Amino acid sequence: MTTAPTVPSTVPTAVPATVPTAPTTTFPPVGGAPVPEDPRADLAVRAAELVRDAVLGDLARRVVADCGADVGLVGVPDPAVAGPEAAGPRAEGMVLRHWAGTRADLLHGLAVPAGTGLGGRALAERAPNWVPDYRAATTISHHYDAAVTAEDLYAMLTVPLLHHGAVHGVVYASLRAVVPFGDVRIGAVTRLAEAATRALAGAAAWCGGPAADRVPRRTGPPTAPVPLTPREHEVLRWAATGRTNPEIAARLGLTRNTVTGYLKSAMHKLGVRNRTELALTAREFGLLD
């Protein structure tokens, strides 16, 4: 009878001199160079992504709630969406990632190359654009008439989110009526776009984005105007990671109303109005480091 060779139960502890030691690394599943583990960098990137999504989602909702629009949309730049050559060298397109007030889903996830439609025009020109009747407009392309008609939209305003020459996206304010956009509504949407852009630039700075996207850093974090209690601080830190109130309540053994109360108290102390502003201000005060 043939027996299998015996496998040693231990592995030699000596390391050959020709094999150098190296820091712990994470290897991609197929090919590519080893990527050093950096949990803090990953966390910063994830936090920035959460803030970006929260800011843009809140922007779409506030266009409807605060500016009297029927539909709010936000397009996010996407290098995979190429614009036509006529749009110029900065012809990167975008995808509509955030929306509020829609009835159909034809605009959800819609790819918009630079220079096409009203939003693509705002993206290419780096300037606001508006039309009282999208369907009858002769100054824009009509690539998206089917989606616009499905939503029963007519008047439309688009404002790019600009910071130091970089475009972070385009916000749309649309109405289901043929009306001109007055200075009051244009100004309101523009101010929302500017506030969102500042928040996005701050998020880019946290994860070490390009210098053009960064906001000035202080030499040290300022002190919060009114100190938070330990429980308020704890709830705030979980909220800043994107957890919902029910999730925070379950994790900390609290009721949902108690979590809501702590968050409202923290917002009042830091002088902010919503969870997005709370996360931004808390990081500015060094409460999330």
Least Cα distance to 270 among 288, 248, 285, 286 occurs for 285
User: Coil, strand, or helix at residue 121?
Assistant: helix
Higher-pLDDT residue of 164 and 179 is 179
Q: Is the pLDDT of residue 150 over 70?
A: yes
Please give the Cα distance from 196 to 126 (Å, whole number).
16
pLDDT of 203-235, one tens digit each? 666 655 543 333 333 344 455 556 788 888 888
State residue 32's pLDDT score: 42
Which residues are bridge partners to 98 per DSSP?
74
Q: What percent of the chain has pLDDT over 70?
A: 73
- Average pLDDT (250-259) is 89
Q: Is the pLDDT of residue 258 over 80?
A: yes
Do 81 and 93 meet the contact criterion of CB atoms below 8 Å apart? Answer: yes
Average pLDDT value over all residues in the chain:
78
Higher-pLDDT residue of 285 and 190 is 190
State residue 125's pLDDT score: 86
pLDDT band at 37; cut points 50, 70, 90: low
Q: What is the residue type of 216?
A: P
Higher-pLDDT residue of 110 and 5 is 110
Could you give the domains of the chain? 40-213 (3.30.450.40), 230-284 (1.10.10.10)
Please give the Cα distance from 21 to 32 (Å, whole number).
20
Greatest mean pLDDT among 33-42, 120-129, 216-225: 120-129
pLDDT of 80-116, one tens digit each? 887 555 444 455 899 999 999 999 999 999 999 998 9
Tell me how far apart the 2 most distant CA atoms of the chain are, in Å. 95
Buried b vs exposed e over 111-143: b needs ≥16 C-beta within 10 Å?
ebbbbbbbbbbbbbbeebbbbbebeebeebeee
Please give the Cα distance from 163 to 168 (Å, whole number).
8
Do 200 and 55 meet the contact criterion of CB atoms below 8 Å apart? Answer: yes
Q: What is the DSSP letter of 217?
A: P
Determine phi and psi for 179, rounding to 5 degrees.
-145, 150
pLDDT of 129-145, one tens digit each? 999 999 999 988 999 99
Q: Is the pLDDT of residue 4 over 60?
A: no
Helices (H), 78-127: 117-125
In which residue are the tokens 């688009």 written? 158
Radius of gyration of the chain (CA): 25
pLDDT band at 173; cut points 50, 70, 90: very high
Copy the structure tokens of residue 110. 């819609």
State residue 19's pLDDT score: 40
Q: What is the DSSP letter of 228?
A: P
- Evaluate if pTM is beyond 0.85: no
